[in-house]
Structure 1
Amino acid sequence: MPVTPLSPLLPAVGGLPFVRDLAAHGDRPAVVTRDGELSYADLAERVARTADRLGVGRRLVLVVGANTVDSLVAYLAALHAGHPVLLVPGGHNAALASLVDAYDPDVVVGPAEGGWRIEHRRAASAHDLHPDLALLLSTSGSTGSPKLVRLSQANLQANAESIAGYLGIRDTDRAATTLPLHYCYGLSVVNSHLVRGAALVLTDLSVADTCFWELFRDARATTFAGVPYTFDLLDRVGFAAMDLPHLRYVTQAGGRLAPDRVRRYAELGRRAGWDLFVMYGQTEATARMAYLPPDLALDHPAAIGVPVPGGAFRLAPVADHPDPDVGELVYAGPNVMLGYAHSPADLALGRTVDELHTGDLARRTADGLWEIVGRRSRFAKILGLRIDPQQIEALLAAHGFSATCAGGDDELIVAVAGAGDPRRLRRLVADEVGLPPRAVRILLLAELPRLASGKPDLVALRGLAAAAVEAPAPEPAAAGDLCRLYAEVLDRTDVTPDLSFVDLGGDSLSYVEMSVRLEQELGHLPANWHTLPIAELRPSARAGHADRRGVGPRRRSLETSVALRAAAIVLIVGSHIPLFTITGGAHLLLAVAGFNFARFQLTDAGRRDRLRQVGASLLRVVLPTTAWIGAVMLVSDQYELSTLLLVNSILRPDVPDGWHFWFVEALVYLLVGLAALLGLRRVDRWERRHPFAFPLALTALALLGRYDVFGLDARYDLPSALVAGWLFTLGWAAARADGVRQRLLVTGAVAATVPGFFGEPWREALIVAGFALLTWKPTVPSLALVNKVAGVLAASSLYIYLTHWQVYPHLRDLPLVALAASIALGIAYAALVNRVSRWIAAWRSARHEPAGATR
């Protein structure tokens, strides 16, 4: 389709350079949607035609902002034609009506049946419009307020170029619109990418929507922007594990992101190959005033960084602030607004401010970076005390609660998301600020009220406080019961409803007891319960106290990995006695170990935290193993030093009883090797970006030992970790398999590689069947009694394996007694190890707890 030249269609009024020059980018993609792409040439033509329909004489044009092509074209067309634009949010009829009444726009452009409609309310403007006026925005994304920010063309062009400069935006970049067009931060994403000829992936989908990430990948998007709430959603949807091969950088603004989260996301970006830009801005500065270079985020996560190119900061003294190094942050630069508008009469005003008093309290660090320490205007004076709401929000965040605070009539309003004990929270806040508890109002809400920008909606919060009696926590007894259960099983004192089993350091050993007891408590096991916050776990209709007393329904489900561990250890001991001969249990346990390694060691935590988790798992295997072997060596000569050091398969494979612990040696070697491998930054990044392909690649390498490709097995008798390690990595892949295709791939790999390994068809069939269950069935049908027995056996499986060698040889003539005695001793040893572990933990806690501290 030929491109119509712009000049005959456009009014003879100068426009913004980045809007006027759209056609210069030619056939490069300008907009990408689910329906296809729109080139810059096509976008320029649509802008030209719409600008022609808006007319030549300057009029106040109200545009309903939305993340759609029609809204984008209307916004750009009005700017190109030189009309001042009043950009308002879509979907807020009351807010729209309020602004129409307050400012009486000459033209209204917005959605109508069958498309978008331009409503010419008058031929000539009813207003005196200053020549520099280009855009009117509500402050901070608020809706319906008559107070607007007046911005000029120079403001918009300068800030767009500044942002494009420090972000290094390329014409190959593609930015997903994660924020609303009418919000200054979302609008700055649009302007800064258009100024460089980059593309916009235009969507109104939330980052919590799977379809958003499908579009993001299909469009080869390179960046997206987020406010703090966006990062809450990213945590919920498992962003850290996503494969986003084209992602180049992520930006954050719109409020303070906690330093620990800045550090975590900066580290995640470093591992995954993208940069995190923390930024600071206000609508009054056309969006951005400062940015933190990505290479400084890990060491200075609390800083907003340095001024944007062309801008400068200074501190204005604050008389009543105790720290002389803290002042009100004042910004100057070409992006500072012309001033505010409170009524149509103010549209005739030119520049009324030269610098912006931000209202934020800040200081400059010794490194030359700027840091926000509070908000001057948010301070509340309650019962004569000056309260900083951000101080309260930070306090509650440190205790695991997401909160928003605001000053009310003689009370401090504290809204907390999720479950909690209102009395404990009230006391915590009151003690922090010195208020009597009666002056603290706690509101427990499912979600904190937010503006379209993602910022806290303080007006709505005050409305909720005025209208509602203090809300009870949702299902406090159930949440409290589960917290106590988690605290008991994991031996933790810091359990809160927003934490998950993985967050609390749960591993494959504690997982068994937790899954069995949780299923008993809830009546079912939700998928991926170990990654869900405790507050999201809800009892089923058939769970209840009667059922827990053993009355009522007895049908239950059992975690497949738990069932396999319990069955495998019985098969191992029974075959060694021999009570029966059903072999393959130990190799199946190796697969289950790989499955659990992926679930509990390879969390979304940082690389160092992962390594600490692997190290802790190693200790939980090595210490009880060497303690038992050492005890046996004190009373007999059954084992040698190589067995104690777990190097028997390397140094002394000919020792008669040395093979007893081949499974433990294989597991230890695998964990040590994987810790060393994942300790490499690049390898850790590969695993996170390709969570399923990575263990498959390791399986391919491990199969070299299984098939003796280099002929080493015969000469050197390779350690079991090298010969059977592929079972571990395939178990890992089974845990990462997502969807039918990947599960089929794992099942096919097992079916192709297990047969022929032992030369024993029944043994191989057992392993293949166990693998199939592990891959395809998260749970298996069970009974309450079976669950209890399986839970004890699975939780004690390692200890039964360690100790049964010293039991059954003395009871071979009584095979059933030998089996029972072997299991009983293993369970007793497990109980002893757990008790010693709790003693050590309690001793360490007491040693590091300050004198006089209370729990």
Structure 2
Amino acid sequence: MTTQLDFKRVPFAADLASYGDRPAILTDTHSLTYRELAERVDALALRLGTERRLVALPATNDLDSIVAYLAALVGGHPLILLPEDKPAALESMVAAYDPDVVMRPGNGRTVLEERRAGTRHELHPDLALLLSTSGSTGSPKLVRLSHTNLQSNAQSISEYLLIGPDDRAATTLPMSYCYGLSVINSYLLRGAGLVLTDLSVVDPCFWELFRRRGATSLAAVPYTFELLDRVGFAEMDLPSLRYITQAGGRLAPEAVRKYAGLGRRNGWELFVMYGQTEATARMAYLPPELAAEAPGAVGIPVPGGSFRIDSVPGLEDGELVYTGPNVMLGYAESPADLAAGRTITELRTGDLARKHPAGVYEVVGRRSRFVKIVGLRVDLGQVERLLADLGVQAASAGTDDGVVVAVEGDQDTQLLAKVLAQGVGLPRAALEVHAVEHLPRLPTGKLDYQAVLALSGPKPGPAPEPTKEGGSPDRGTEDSVRKIFEDALECAEIGDGDTFVSLGGDSLSYVAASVRLEQALGHLPPDWHVTPVRDLEPRPQAAPVRKRRRFFAPLETSIVLRAVGIVLIVSTHVGLFSWQGAAHVLMAVAGYNFARFQLAGKRIPRLRRQLASVARIVVPSMAFIALAYLVTDKYTPVNILLLNAILGPEAVTTQWHFWFIEVLIYLLVAATALLAIPWADRAERRFPLLFPLALTGLGLLTRYELVNPGVPHTAPALWLFALGWAIARSRTIAQRCLVSAMAALTVPGFFENASREWTLLVGILLLIWLPSIPVPTGFRRLTVVLASASLYAYLVHWLVYPPLAEISPALAVAVSLAVGVAYWALCMRVVGTLNRRRARSKAAAAGGSQPASREVPA
């Protein structure tokens, strides 16, 4: 057995107190100095005892987890580090390795679950840490890391990043992941600060904490950059940011160039890095000045390390081999392996590489990312590169039976499959291509290739545990989500990667779907309409949660505005009371919803969705106005064609009753036509906020009568529609303040009616600042129905209320709204019937054209 004399300590963990009162840990609510951190670490190390024991730690990004980790290093106890949110992984490790102690951090005092007083293991003196290899946190195969591995890698990272005592790193990655842990190690080694958080970069609170604590660095995996694009990172003001590091997978060269250029303009640097758990963390980094010249390279070896490339028979490129003090001792697959010393002296990375003319190394593929199908050797990395050259993000996985490819966004999978079959030289039957809203990823942000393989169909055996990152979902909940989408959108054949938007959802169907989903899931993510079906399921609960009776329940602000707006409009027209300005609020809401539902996906599929959405307004409007033309003498054929705003009289007569619908259609058609132009499409994607702000500026030319739009009485339409679009694209507080200021400066003076202007301004500000508004639970369903039917109620009330107004204005309002709801329900039923017939026809046609067998030919 190992005694208390047979251990070493990791210097950066043992020397914490030497940095005295420098801030070590900074959270949202407090900070901890190095001296205070050392005291906590020493106290916990004392509780662990002096005899070396095997310790397991399920860790998260909190102070207790860091103290527990450091206490194990200080006490010389070999530590199995696991993610706290994967209890199955802990159970697997306990069963496989029988640790002597399980540390469970929480509530300021770590609980030591001592399974025995001493140890039953032979623990090698050099053994310090055991980490799971990427993507296998439940596997008994662990990487054995020594005290020297940890110290040397922290030293080399801090050296090339020039980490100093004044630097502060935000913990954007899990500490159970070797990349996230290396950030902690390298910063503690230099006496720098850790801004400790488990918030996502999409959370505004993360960036508030980042600024307030003066964070100087950000660690990112490729998926992080997709999230940064979504939150408008390029426009953020981050004066303390010194550099961003990237590892955890290959970042596309165009993204490297983009962020390296952004950094040069904003005063920070991008470090692309390369590593593996087997090398403790980092093996190479790309000097920022070479990012433009060699954006696809992994760079040069870290200080103290070296590379060579060994030839591989049958391949043009060789295998990258790394040597350095951070190379692991070896693997462990059972407790007996914990007594072993060093079993390897160099790391065969499994990556295929070549030397770039600039003197840096490029990784071009994986040795293990090859499959042999019908006698052909297929490089799965090449499959992804072929699609990347076409502008398609993809993940490919395969077996000797065939290749499965997931492509992101709305894609023509049949066409892509043909292109791949020709490019790779495979039979078409050996390829499956599946379109998904987002590529499946592991908690670390890396692509989840097992989830890609699972797209080919159900496999026999036990169902995997539900995961947030793309694993198999809970079928019962998934069925409820599918059922809600089927009912709201009147469609069938909903796939795991489908979203509300990709299925053709728009503002007309959004309301009912959102409320039903919130009831089913308990909580509705803010971007649920662009979230894949498989990701909408909540984590399973051990026991049902008893819901408290609530007198108010939140409803999304745009829904409340639509419901309240139609009541105010109809009541004002009937004469029940007068409250003007609501129609103009709804014009801003229309722009807001256009940006949310009509701008996702590639240009051509998006164009089809936009035209279909316009048709869902045009057809029922023309049908009802044609009826109104036949039964009254108030309208003309120009009204039926929805052209009165252009061809009708300038004087306001009954023919102007439908101006809102006409102008809304004009704006939707114009926006659709504009975005069908490739350069406009690219501009909107690159400048998601600036683009609608520019349109708002054009609209202001008509608002201030500097330009005559040729459409009388509708000057504020483009201005308000574009402003609503900009609201939907405002991600940060600064952006929302900018849009609010534009509204506050431009609304006053337009109507020359203070109450009308206040209605418009307050409605816009609510849309900007309040994600939801509390509604009495008894009125919740009514609010939802009125919001869903608002456009239809606007149409029909002109025909319904006149004979009832003299009897009772209140009755006239109620009947107008009720008939509007009935017309909405009728239209939805007709659309549903047509969609079902089209789906049946499509399925029948597809069934007749499918091959008789899916077997791969010999």
Q: TM-score, normalised by structure 1?
A: 0.61
* Structure 1 residues 268-307: aligned runs within 5 Å: 268-307=262-301
Indicate the residue corresponding to 1:263 in structure 2. 257
Q: Deviations over 1:541-595 (max 9, x none)?
A: 998658536456789xxxxxxxxxx99999xx99xxxxxxxxxxxxxxxxxxxxx
CA distance in 1, matches of 2:175, 2:496: 36
Indicate the residue corresponding to 1:239 in structure 2. 233
Letter of the aligned partner of 2:19 in structure 1? H
1:405 and 2:396 correspond: yes
Equivalent residue for 1:436, pick from 427, 436, 440: 427
Q: Deviations over 1:507-555 (max 9, x none)?
A: xxxxxxxxxxxx9xx9983346676446899899998658536456789
Equivalent residue for 2:246, pick from 236, 245, 252: 252
Q: What is the Cα deviation at residue 214 of structure 1?
A: 2.3
- In 2, are the aligned partners of 1:380 and 1:406 still within 8 Å (CA)? no
1:340 and 2:331 correspond: yes
Letter of the aligned partner of 2:127 in structure 1? L
Q: What is the Cα deviation at residue 733 of structure 1?
A: 11
Q: What is the Cα deviation at residue 378 of structure 1?
A: 1.2
* Root mean square deviation, CA, Å: 5.2
Indicate the residue corresponding to 2:594 in structure 1. 526
1:313 and 2:307 correspond: yes
Q: Deviations over 1:34-83 (max 9, x none)?
A: 23211111111110000001110111111112111111111100000111
Indicate the residue corresponding to 1:33 in structure 2. 27
Q: What is the Cα deviation at residue 212 of structure 1?
A: 1.9
Secondary structure of 2:282's match?
Answer: coil
Percent of paired sites with the same residue = 51
Indicate the residue corresponding to 2:149 in structure 1. 155
CA distance in 2, matches of 1:399, 1:30: 47
| Residue ranges of structure 1 left out of the alignment (5+ in a row) | 1-9, 484-496, 499-518, 556-565, 575-595, 621-661, 665-729, 756-760, 788-855
Indicate the residue corresponding to 1:86 in structure 2. 80
Q: What is the Cα deviation at residue 355 of structure 1?
A: 0.9
Indicate the residue corresponding to 1:461 in structure 2. 452
Question: Using a 3 Å threshold, how does the CA distance of structure 1 residues 553 and 354 change in structure 2: closer, same or farther?
Answer: farther
- In 1, are the aligned partners of 2:142 and 2:333 still within 8 Å (CA)? yes
* Structure 1 residues 491-640: aligned runs within 5 Å: 525-527=593-595, 532-533=600-601, 545=616, 548=619, 550=621, 605=686
Q: Deviations over 1:117-173 (max 9, x none)?
A: 111112222111111111111112521111111111111111001001101112111
Q: What is the Cα deviation at residue 183 of structure 1?
A: 0.7
Q: What is the Cα deviation at residue 218 of structure 1?
A: 2.2
Indicate the residue corresponding to 1:829 in structure 2. none
Equivalent residue for 1:107, pick from 101, 106, 109: 101
Q: What is the Cα deviation at residue 245 of structure 1?
A: 2.0
Equivalent residue for 2:183, pick from 184, 189, 195: 189
Indicate the residue corresponding to 1:50 in structure 2. 44
Indicate the residue corresponding to 2:373 in structure 1. 382
CA distance in 2, matches of 1:476, 1:279: 34
Indicate the residue corresponding to 1:73 in structure 2. 67
- In 2, are the aligned partners of 1:264 and 1:606 still within 8 Å (CA)? no
Secondary structure of 2:351's match?
Answer: strand
CA distance in 2, matches of 1:468, 1:554: 54
Indicate the residue corresponding to 1:223 in structure 2. 217
* Structure 1 residues 368-379: aligned runs within 5 Å: 368-379=359-370
Indicate the residue corresponding to 1:198 in structure 2. 192
CA distance in 2, matches of 1:255, 1:273: 25
| Residue ranges of structure 2 left out of the alignment (5+ in a row) | 461-492, 507-528, 531-586, 627-642, 652-673, 675-679, 699-704, 708-722, 769-786, 796-858
Indicate the residue corresponding to 1:427 in structure 2. 418
Letter of the aligned partner of 1:53 in structure 2? R
Letter of the aligned partner of 1:119 in structure 2? E
Q: Deviations over 1:640-669 (max 9, x none)?
A: xxxxxxxxxxxxxxxxxxxxxx979xxxxx
CA distance in 1, matches of 2:191, 2:44: 21
- In 2, are the aligned partners of 1:523 and 1:540 still within 8 Å (CA)? no
CA distance in 2, matches of 1:219, 1:464: 43
CA distance in 2, matches of 1:335, 1:67: 24
CA distance in 2, matches of 1:748, 1:481: 35
Higher Cα Rg, which structure: 1
Letter of the aligned partner of 2:167 in structure 1? D
- In 2, are the aligned partners of 1:30 and 1:43 still within 8 Å (CA)? yes
Q: What is the Cα deviation at residue 478 of structure 1?
A: 8.1
How many equivalent pairs are there? 602
CA distance in 2, matches of 1:96, 1:353: 27
Q: What is the Cα deviation at residue 196 of structure 1?
A: 0.8
- In 1, are the aligned partners of 2:387 and 2:394 still within 8 Å (CA)? yes
- In 1, are the aligned partners of 2:51 and 2:118 still within 8 Å (CA)? yes
Q: Deviations over 1:793-844 (max 9, x none)?
A: xxxxxxxxxxxxxxxxxxxxxxxxxxxxxxxxxxxxxxxxxxxxxxxxxxxx
Which piece of structure 1 moves more, 110-119 or 27-36? 110-119
Secondary structure of 2:207's match?
Answer: helix
Letter of the aligned partner of 1:183 in structure 2? Y
Question: Using a 3 Å threshold, how does the CA distance of structure 1 residues 476 and 111 change in structure 2: closer, same or farther?
Answer: closer
- In 2, are the aligned partners of 1:31 and 1:37 still within 8 Å (CA)? yes
Q: Deviations over 1:72-120 (max 9, x none)?
A: 1111000001111111122212221111111111111124799631111
Letter of the aligned partner of 2:374 in structure 1? L
Q: What is the Cα deviation at residue 14 of structure 1?
A: 4.4
Indicate the residue corresponding to 2:138 in structure 1. 144
Q: Deviations over 1:171-205 (max 9, x none)?
A: 11111111111111010011011111111111122
Q: What is the Cα deviation at residue 400 of structure 1?
A: 3.8
- In 2, are the aligned partners of 1:331 and 1:356 still within 8 Å (CA)? yes
Indicate the residue corresponding to 1:657 in structure 2. none
Secondary structure of 1:377's match?
Answer: coil
CA distance in 2, matches of 1:218, 1:177: 15
Secondary structure of 1:405's match?
Answer: strand
* Structure 1 residues 646-795: aligned runs within 5 Å: 742=738, 745-746=741-742
Letter of the aligned partner of 2:619 in structure 1? R
CA distance in 2, matches of 1:378, 1:236: 31
Letter of the aligned partner of 2:416 in structure 1? L
Question: Using a 3 Å threshold, how does the CA distance of structure 1 residues 338 and 544 change in structure 2: closer, same or farther?
Answer: same
Letter of the aligned partner of 1:48 in structure 2? D
Q: What is the Cα deviation at residue 296 of structure 1?
A: 1.1
- In 2, are the aligned partners of 1:443 and 1:471 still within 8 Å (CA)? no
Q: Deviations over 1:10-39 (max 9, x none)?
A: 999642111111111112111112232111
Question: Using a 3 Å threshold, how does the CA distance of structure 1 residues 536 and 147 change in structure 2: closer, same or farther?
Answer: farther
Q: TM-score, normalised by structure 2?
A: 0.61
Equivalent residue for 1:120, pick from 111, 114, 118: 114
Letter of the aligned partner of 2:274 in structure 1? Y
